[in-house]
Amino acid sequence: MLFHVEMTVNLPADMPEARAAEIKATEKAYSQKLQNEGTWRHLWRVAGSYSNVSIFDVEDNETLHHIISGLPLFPYMEIRVRPLCRHPSSVRDDDS
């Protein structure tokens, strides 16, 4: 199943810079592992904000929830998830 996921990060203003850098480094490694596995298909930054738009390819809702809640930045995120399905006017026969 494909999911469109919007994530906006809101780190506390009083979070020590070293702690923020540590969380971000762990987050980067986690997300790149999922991208290399093909689970996190696309990742785009939203210009002008600490946000991203992502496409996930997972078995089901529960799997997506497990992945998202495992993100090191999860406690500091506002997240919006939308399931995707094929559009009848698509010129593609697959999800590429």
pLDDT digits (tens, 9 = 90+) for 19-71: 999 999 999 999 999 999 999 999 999 999 999 999 999 999 999 999 999 99
pLDDT score of 1 more than 90: yes
92 within some domain: no
What is the C-alpha separation between 54 and 4, in angstroms, rounded? 6
94 within some domain: no
What CATH code is carried by the domain that includes residue 62? 3.30.70.1060
91 within some domain: no
10 within some domain: yes
95 within some domain: no
Tokens linked to 11: 């780190």
Residue with tokens 């009848």: 88
90 within some domain: no
What is the C-alpha separation between 77 and 11, in angstroms, rounded? 8
Model confidence, pTM: 0.90
Domain that holds residue 16: 2-84
Counting the structural domains of the chain, the total is 1
Higher per-residue pLDDT: 93 or 8: 8
